[in-house]
Chain A
Amino acid sequence: EAQVTQNPRYLITVTGKKLTVTCSQNMNHEYMSWYRQDPGLGLRQIYYSMNVEVTDKGDVPEGYKVSRKEKRNFPLILESPSPNQTSLYFCASSQTGRGYTFGSGTRLTVV
């Protein structure tokens, strides 16, 4: 089944403790993106990647890192999480940058 898989689905962590949210797609897509979604603010792009080893900042990259060492994986790294990074996170992929397929989401709480 064609899908984007994110893990974990839910995560509660403490301020400053490094964490990684994984994202993997099995569709051989070139484009991948990370979004966060907050009430009243909608979907905001954190980082995106147009291909292996090609990444760029989105609208809200501060406090996040990504890597794209292989086509299928696009992990999101929070080196030192803070409470303002509490949010619902989505990974998405697309072959042509047109219709994106989204992962199921990761609800992150930083206390």
Chain B
Amino acid sequence: GQNIDQPTEMTATEGAIVQINCTYQTSGFNGLFWYQQHAGEAPTFLSYNVLDGLEEKGRFSSFLSRSKGYSYLLLKELQMKDSASYLCAVSAGNNRKLIWGLGTSLAVNP
């Protein structure tokens, strides 16, 4: 079957670095997304990885290893506003359906 796993909760300190992992099992892999979602709000796009390696975008970076079915989102210089849920999603199949993880709730403490 198709499955995405990510930790349910994480805690980190303001100014620190945190890595949120995502493992997946899908067929017809097209790409992997990371979204940020604040409570009660819409998910917002953070990154999209198609090829193996690290994509850096400001304080956020995302890594993909297709052979291992593994990705991580790296958040640097954490700020209080980074407290949110981080969703991993994989695009699979010809219809590019998104398969979503349940999200990792990140709490950034002062």
Contacts and interface: CB of A to CB of B under 8 A. Distances in A.
Interface of A: 31, 33, 40-45, 48, 50, 56, 58, 88, 90, 96-105, 107
Binding site secondary structure of chain A: strand
B102 A97 contact: no
B69 interface: no
Binding site secondary structure of chain B: strand
Contacts of A58: 97
Interface in B28-70: 30-31, 33, 40-45, 48
A107 B42 CA distance: 11
Given A42-B102, A98-B48, A99-B45, A50 B95 contact: yes
Nearest to A43: B100
Contacts of A107: 40
Contacts of A90: 42-43
A98 B95 contact: no
Interface residues of B, number: 21
Nearest to B45: A99
A42 B97 contact: no
A48 B95 contact: yes
Contacts of B41: 104-105
A103 B42 CA distance: 6
A91 to B, nearest CB: 9
A80 B82 CA distance: 39
Contacts of A31: 96
Interface string B83-94: 000010101000
A17 to B, nearest CB: 25
B43 A98 contact: no
Residue among A40, A41, A43, A105 having the largest count of chain B Cβ atoms under 10 Å: A43
The 6 closest A-B pairs by CB, nearest first: A97-B96, A102-B42, A42-B102, A43-B100, A99-B45, A42-B100
Contacts of A50: 95
